[in-house]
Chains A and B, each alone.
Chain A
């Protein structure tokens, strides 16, 4: 808050304007539509609902009559589906059990991808995953699934024993057991959720800063600041393209890691 105030003061002084510039704050990501607090219906919830409806409609419409020779829509869907099915699920989980995880990974990839891309697509321009609740929701599911899969395959004891790498001297167990438990129960879910959230949050924050800052400088600044404002808009443009890349990449990484965790629980040897 103090940093923010400093920025405002500086810019206000430079612009010679009484109103001053207010940099975007994390608080602005909270956009309740109905009610407030924990149980408010917020804008990202609506965006998420719209995305689910859109994805479901598109996928069902293009595959309802899935043909041997695909049409245009089916071709697009198959492109994404093949990417997840063969490029992620089959390559990582292995051709033996990958098929039952394909719906999970595919729907996860599509949901994250579309919601991430909403961050730069007008009129939404709001990345749903910049609200930590949604990455946590998805991570929670991945967390439960990879433990459930491991327990179902090896039993509870087997699953826990499976976490510890074999062939280590007994003495090192003191060190390795807490580390592995930390990895499986804390680090993995925490990083999975925070990585997605952090990328979307920071990326959108950056875009907001360049766009609102540029806008302020062009409207309120002198000639020099007006030019800087135009430069700021240019940066926003470049970052928007960059953001598109990151949004795709994060959807891919999330799905890839989910598959890796499931594969780790399914693997016979460590």
Chain B
């Protein structure tokens, strides 16, 4: 379509305007100057409004990346410090636990020993009490037996002698003396039955 209008244009304007027939490598002054002006305007906009903003953003970006890296390094150092602290605490806690365990064992042993001592003392006490009681009972039995034996012997002797010897015996303490001698081992028991 364009070339038809072009033809029409060339035909109608041919008389007045021969610019279209000029060699295409020869510029129109208007276009040349307008080109310089247009470029100048664009250059001014780019140089004052676009490039400074972009360069500022680039600088900020670089700073942000460097800052971020520094921050990351700091964070890493902090993490490292925290890890070391944690490990130190862990070691300490382990030592503490071992110490507590040891203490508990010692305490346990002490408690067991103490309990054992107490039990032994109690046992000893009970045994002692029993011994004492037995001794007392034995004494009592001996006393009662002595008087019984004395009375029986006297009865027997009285019956043999025919009269009561009780009064005299009591008066003279014969039986008691005899028994005491017997106990002391001064008198050897004799086999009475066989001789009679």
Interface residues of A (CB under 8 A from B): 22-32, 36-42, 44-45, 48-49, 52, 55-56, 59-60, 63-64, 66-68, 70, 74, 77-78, 81, 99, 102-104, 106-108, 110-111, 131-134, 136-138, 140-141, 194, 197, 201, 208, 212, 215
Contacts and interface: CB of A to CB of B under 8 A. Distances in A.
Interface of B: 1-4, 6-7, 9-10, 13, 16-17, 19-36, 38-39, 41-43, 45-47, 49-51, 53-57, 60-61, 64
Contact of A28 (B3, B42, B61): B3
B16 A36 contact: yes
Given A103-B47, A107-B39, A27 B56 contact: no
A104 B43 contact: yes
A190 B34 CA distance: 20
A81 B57 CA distance: 12
A56 B38 CA distance: 11
A188 B35 CA distance: 19
A55 B42 contact: yes
A241 B165 CA distance: 166
Nearest to A125: B2
A19 to B, nearest CB: 10
A140 B36 CA distance: 9
B2 to A, nearest CB: 7
B27 A132 contact: yes
A81 B51 CA distance: 9
B55 A99 contact: yes
Nearest to B65: A68
A39 B30 contact: yes
Nearest to B30: A39
A194 B25 contact: yes
Nearest to B21: A27
Contacts of A63: 49-50, 53-54, 57
A48 B24 contact: no
A45 B31 contact: yes
A123 B69 CA distance: 50
Given A39-B30, A60-B45, A52 B24 contact: no
A104 B41 CA distance: 11
Given A60-B49, A63-B53, A107-B47, A40 B3 contact: no
A45 B30 contact: yes
B4 to A, nearest CB: 8
B2 A107 contact: no
B22 to A, nearest CB: 8
Given A106-B46, A137-B35, A138-B35, A67 B20 contact: no
B53 to A, nearest CB: 4
Contacts of A29: 24
